[in-house]
A and B are shown apart, each in its own frame.
Chain A
Amino acid sequence: DAGVTQSPTHLIKTRGQQVTLRCSPKSGHDTVSWYQQALGQGPQFIFQYYEEEERQRGNFPDRFSGHQFPNYSSELNVNALLLGDSALYLCASSSPGPGETQYFGPGTRLLVL
């Protein structure tokens, strides 16, 4: 099991463009969470998907949207990119329920110019 995988590893975009990041969860996991980690900061929770629906959302604008597919993989979409969206985007997967923990992927580093 490769664990949580993310693609691409690096991405460069310009202001105003749109970006899609992808995540495949660890085998056996059905819940995917996305986090944004700016330089020198801890990860910030964006949202979580379970059963193909957004279950929880952090304090991020509507420019950030997501999707979960029947195979539990997920996409994070960011529209109208701003310079401040430059960050490492982390995906974490888990099973729902008490006692479960999140397993993190290696992240996608996004640079907005």
Chain B
Amino acid sequence: AQRVTQPEKLLSVFKGAPVELKCNYSYSGSPELFWYVQYSRQRLQLLLRHISRESIKGFTADLNKGETSFHLKKPFAQEEDSAMYYCALSRYSGGGADGLTFGKGTHLIIQP
């Protein structure tokens, strides 16, 4: 069975500092990995997915199959980045519409 682990429940950094949200996964196949974000009083929305290799709002994430990780990074945090971040896995590449396995989430707080 697949599993997604986000080791930090809470991460607090200062504005302008680099941010790294950790995500590790376990799955024997070739999964697709996603980061979803939930801003205060808003619904869950897709931030980025590894196959598109895009940078969204300054965030990037690289899939490391050797370490089974998909950490989310941003070089300079902004206050509007404060939100709940969830890492999620689909069992196959191109499986964005598949039933997703989510981690427990990391609450990111950007201090002024």
Residues of A in contact with B (beta carbons under 8 Å apart) = 3-4, 31, 33, 35, 40-45, 47-48, 56, 58, 90, 94-107
Contact = CB atoms under 8 A, between A and B. Distances in A.
* Majority DSSP secondary structure for residues of B touching A: loop
Given A42-B103, A42-B105, A43-B102, A100 B97 contact: yes
Sorting the interface of chain B by its residue count into under 10, 10 to 19, 20 to 34 or 35 or more gives 20 to 34
A41 to B, nearest CB: 6
Contact of B101 (A45, A47, A94, A103): A45
A102 B100 contact: yes
A6 to B, nearest CB: 10
Interface in B24-64: 34, 43-46, 49
Nearest to A106: B43
Given A94-B96, A102-B96, A42 B43 contact: no
Contact of A31 (B86, B97, B103, B105): B97
A105 B99 contact: no
Nearest to A41: B104
A104 B96 contact: no
Nearest to B96: A101
Contacts of A41: 104-105
Given A43-B100, A102-B100, 10 more contacts: A33-B99, A41-B105, A42-B6, A42-B104, A44-B102, A56-B99, A99-B96, A101-B34, A102-B97, A106-B43
Among the interface residues B45, B46, B86, B99, which one has the most CB atoms of the partner chain A within 10 A? B99
Contacts of B79: none
A3 B105 CA distance: 24
* Minimum-distance CB pairs A-B, first 9: A98-B94, A42-B102, A45-B99, A94-B97, A101-B96, A104-B44, A100-B97, A56-B99, A42-B104
